[in-house]
Structure 1
């Protein structure tokens, strides 16, 4: 009789103490009041069964959910958003000079071929002068060629003079083309013989600018950084075991600050990073709405493929729902009167979940959070029975 009375009041009293230690003053009072009415709302343990009312479950902070069926699980880990390597371009000066104009600032959009800056340089003047000289030489060569063709047709000039004139015209044309290409490589359209324009190689946004107006820059110095941010990259690092269950095309759920989106795995490295001994993984994130930023830390949930343990019909439960009691792995299944400790056989872990091989059908309601409280009460009840 004594042991039954002890069992009847043990669980509500322990719940009240637990809530009081966590700072839940009002909830603790309710749980204490519940312990006083142990006659009607008493909790007892009988062969792994724990009787709890709905109010007692809520007061203990025990959350209830259903197992997940299907898929092969996910793994949740921190990640960082990077710019797409194929969508980021460094804009540099091909020749040295002084910056006399800046047409774009940080964050502004720019189209491909649009001017970012204008540089004034002696070398630019030389390149433009070479084009003018090559153009004049070509005009002279074409004039000589026309004259030799006319004289050869009148049988006044020999054929070798015509051939020489044709060769000179061809060489002059090549020289002009080369001079234009050299100027194009350095920049064109600067608005003067001593100026060149620095243009954007791609369409996007200016995400970096390292010059100011009037600054003298050296050849090949970085002036701007332009990025097309419609697609971003997500950098992940997985354990080798987890990386073996991820394939290109797998979905990655990205979450941060009230935002959520789905990315797709585009690359799984065949080699480990020697510094951290993890496998680098890259996912592509659609950012046409502009809601993600380069360098932003996020949480990524990577979906495993069906090749891992568990298959597409696997039953998965949160790892917080699984407890060990006397060498047995158990999950607390919700009943009409409370919970029942149900033995299960578990398989591999999939991030924050565990695959259940047997013991559950998948349709049960289980304790997913604070299940350790039920485990503690189960142990107390078994100890009371032994007394």
Structure 2
């Protein structure tokens, strides 16, 4: 039995040829993929820009492209983790990228602890102040240079330097020949007066009884009047010297008591026991320091601003103290050498703070002008390059707002640019915020 040849043996040969072709093509494709892998990995931005249809048209190539895309995702892991924080391209951590360098974080409790108080910017009156140097001096209206008014020798000295004395208090006792003579004259005049009064009484009675002539009566009357005048004259002499009628009682006719003319402090003393003094010798200086003068020199150009009755503030240069008084005197003449006029302010000094000889600064309001927008002078702070700033509240704390300032006095400063009317600002405690801002800047620098 014979078999007819068929086409079955030829099929395996064709299959083997197709498989071989596929393997060759696969090897070539693998080689091309391996060569294009590094380039595709370095062009991640281009790969992300293509759509899925354009970038991945062949489903069999997804393995290699996915690997490259995965590598790109690792490089930008921060984009996935900080989607809400939106970190900048500089690559800073989220804590630094979200931190506002100009913000001073502060809650209500810290504000109260730091003494921060807010106010609103608005119109105000700015006063132009005139500052003049001055010096505290004795109030000459309440200062006495005590002189004995009679020559004598000091027997005792009761008052000491710096002592507070009352009016009429004994300062010293002198032995004076002049006082002795005046008292003797007073005593003699008193005796003559007593005799003249007795004679007048007798002559008047005899004249009324028609025993003596009227002429004798009239003569006795004249002698009586002269005796009265002599006694009065002797008394006035002693009173003018401050001796008094009974000053010599218990101490002799020559005893002269020197007493304080008013309440005050013994600021000078030039008398010791046994020292001889003349009637014009200045032995004590007593001043009532409850009132003093602040004297100053005013230039001719500033005289229109310094008027009698004008309110003035006096500030000590050696310590923190101030007082308010009125201009009591402005000189009518200009000094030929200094080209200034003298002026003074009367200051109450109940506690004795203002001591004569103390240097002071006197502030007088020269003019007043209205500012459209102003803040408290305590709110103005100077930063780097002397830039003026005002701290304003913002969500979460405060921020330094640069401003342009104009006229200013001790209480108010005019704002030209940087704030709006009614805008809140830190009126008190701005120095604390300035310190916090400086500390934060230093930490950021390091």
3-state SS of paired residue (1:221): coil
Match of 1:175 among 224, 227, 230: 230
Tell me the distance in 2 between the aligned counterparts of 1:312 and 1:162.
91
Matched, 1:201 2:295: no
In the alignment, which residue of structure 2 is the partner of 1:154?
Answer: 209
Tell me the distance in 2 between the aligned counterparts of 1:156 and 1:146.
14
Give the structure-2-normalised TM-score: 0.58
In the alignment, which residue of structure 1 is the partner of 2:344?
Answer: 282
3-state SS of paired residue (2:315): strand
Across the aligned residues of Structure 1 and Structure 2, the Cα RMSD in angstroms comes to 4.1
Tell me the distance in 1 between the aligned counterparts of 2:275 and 2:303.
49
In the alignment, which residue of structure 2 is the partner of 1:310?
Answer: 369
1:186-236 Cα deviation digits (max 9, x unpaired): 232243112211122112121111111100111211111111111111223
Would you say the 8 A contact 2:158–2:172 is kept in 1? yes
1:240-293 Cα deviation digits (max 9, x unpaired): 555433441514143465553423123241536414333433222222223332
> Which range is displaced more, 244-253 or 117-126?
244-253
In the alignment, which residue of structure 2 is the partner of 1:264?
Answer: 325
In the alignment, which residue of structure 1 is the partner of 2:355?
Answer: 293
Would you say the 8 A contact 2:306–2:330 is kept in 1? no
Would you say the 8 A contact 1:52–1:338 is kept in 2? yes
Tell me the distance in 2 between the aligned counterparts of 1:173 and 1:253.
57
In the alignment, which residue of structure 2 is the partner of 1:124?
Answer: 179
Listed as ranges, the gaps of 5+ residues in structure 1 are: 1-36, 44-50, 55-64, 324-329, 372-387
Tell me the distance in 1 between the aligned counterparts of 2:297 and 2:98.
54
Would you say the 8 A contact 1:117–1:197 is kept in 2? yes
In the alignment, which residue of structure 1 is the partner of 2:294?
Answer: 234
| 1:76 positional shift | 4.5
Which structure's relative contact order is higher, taking Cα pairs within 8 Å and 6+ residues apart? 1
1:280-333 Cα deviation digits (max 9, x unpaired): 332222222233322222344x2416xx241598948869x799xxxxxx8544
3-state SS of paired residue (1:262): strand
Match of 1:89 among 120, 144, 147: 144
Distance 1:288 1:273, change over 3 A: same
| 1:110 positional shift | 2.0
Would you say the 8 A contact 2:137–2:356 is kept in 1? yes
Match of 1:184 among 228, 239, 264: 239
Tell me the distance in 2 between the aligned counterparts of 1:171 and 1:358.
87
Match of 1:139 among 187, 191, 194: 194
Larger Rg: 2
> Which range is displaced more, 131-140 or 332-341?
332-341
| 1:132 positional shift | 1.1
Distance 1:39 1:314, change over 3 A: closer
1:311-350 matches, cutoff 5 A: 315=374, 331-334=388-391, 339=400, 341-343=402-404, 346=406
Listed as ranges, the gaps of 5+ residues in structure 2 are: 1-94, 106-117, 435-446
> Which range is displaced more, 158-167 or 249-258?
249-258
Match of 1:99 among 135, 154, 162: 154
Would you say the 8 A contact 1:243–1:268 is kept in 2? no
Distance 1:69 1:97, change over 3 A: same
Would you say the 8 A contact 1:73–1:316 is kept in 2? no
> Which range is displaced more, 232-241 or 215-224?
232-241
Tell me the distance in 1 between the aligned counterparts of 2:126 and 2:212.
87
Tell me the distance in 2 between the aligned counterparts of 1:124 and 1:160.
39
Of Structure 1 and Structure 2, which has the larger fraction of its residues in helix?
Answer: 2
In the alignment, which residue of structure 1 is the partner of 2:304?
Answer: 244
Distance 1:353 1:279, change over 3 A: farther
Would you say the 8 A contact 2:403–2:416 is kept in 1? no
Give the structure-1-normalised TM-score: 0.65
| 1:38 positional shift | 9.7
> Which range is displaced more, 184-193 or 218-227?
184-193
Would you say the 8 A contact 1:71–1:313 is kept in 2? no
> Which range is displaced more, 67-76 or 255-264?
67-76
| 1:116 positional shift | 1.3
